[in-house]
Amino acid sequence: MLLKRVIIPVLLIASVAPALADPWMRAEGETFLSYSIETDFENGISDGSGFYGSFYAEHGLTHGLTLGLDAGGHEDDMSKAIAFLRWPIGATDRSTRIVPEFGLGMARETFALRPGLSVGRGFELGDTPGWLSIHSRAVIIGSFDGILETDITFGLSPRPDAKIILQLQTGIPTQSDPYAKLAPSYIRRIAPGRHVELGLVAGVAEADDFKLKFGLWQQF
């Protein structure tokens, strides 16, 4: 068990952190990969407990169609693996973007459907570019189980090689109480097309956990 708790998260991050599902389509032929690990703050990284590893990928199939994969799991099991397609509504060069998506795969070892919708808009705060987006998705597991998830993301790019992100993560499960978490992070470019992420995930409502997040983004 200890071996699984250490090896699985290390492999997830060493293979190349939401990543962020925003309503900006990938250019045709462009690929984006994100790997991240969240670990319980009180346990640290040394004992390998409390890990959650995630892998996120997007690839621009055409100008108006993006293919993606969203997968994640705890230290000794895979909790989700969802493939999805995303396409824009209206012109892709307008200020406000509206992008629906449809995904299917596995969640909690059960077949799942995941329709979703993203809305986002870029802006400038003084001379600093930024963006605001809302991404909602319904994970449908069987007839009477599932969850409605919504992430609200506020981001700023104070420098060309750095981003500051604040995300509110919420969920309304069918079989438990709604929850909310805050996830601030700092992203820094370390090489062309490659960024590292350092962040926190803190419970706000019905979630009292406090986690550190480490991630790596790759675009090519």
Q: What is the DSSP string of 52-104?
A: EEEEEEEEEEETTEEEEEEEEEETTEEEEEEEEEE--BS-TTSSEEEEEEEEE
pLDDT reported for residue 8:
34
Q: What is the pLDDT of residues 17-40, one digit of tens each?
A: 344 556 678 989 999 999 999 887
Measured distance between the N- and C-terminal CA atoms of the chain, rounded to whole angstroms: 36
pTM: 0.81
pLDDT reported for residue 7:
34
pLDDT reported for residue 62:
92
178-207: average pLDDT: 91
For residue 9, pLDDT beyond 80: no
Q: Which residue, 29, 102, 23, is CA-closest to 62? A: 29
66 beta partners: 60, 86
Q: Count of alpha carbons within 13 Å of 102, Cβ hemisphere only?
A: 1
Q: How many CB atoms lie under 10 A from the CB of residue 81?
A: 15
Domains of the chain from N-terminus onward: 2-219 (2.40.160.40)
Tokens representing residue 19 in the block: 């990543």
Q: Which residue has the higher pLDDT, 14 or 203?
A: 203
3-state secondary structure of 31: strand
CB of 214 within 8 A of CB of 44? no
161-175: average pLDDT: 93
Concatenated DSSP letters for 130-173? EEEEEEEEEEEETTTEEEEEEEEEEEEEEETTEEEEEEEEEEEE
Q: Which residue has the higher pLDDT, 35 or 210?
A: 35
Burial class (CB in 10 A: 0-12, 13-18, 19+), 66: buried
CB of 98 within 8 A of CB of 88? yes
pLDDT reported for residue 159:
93
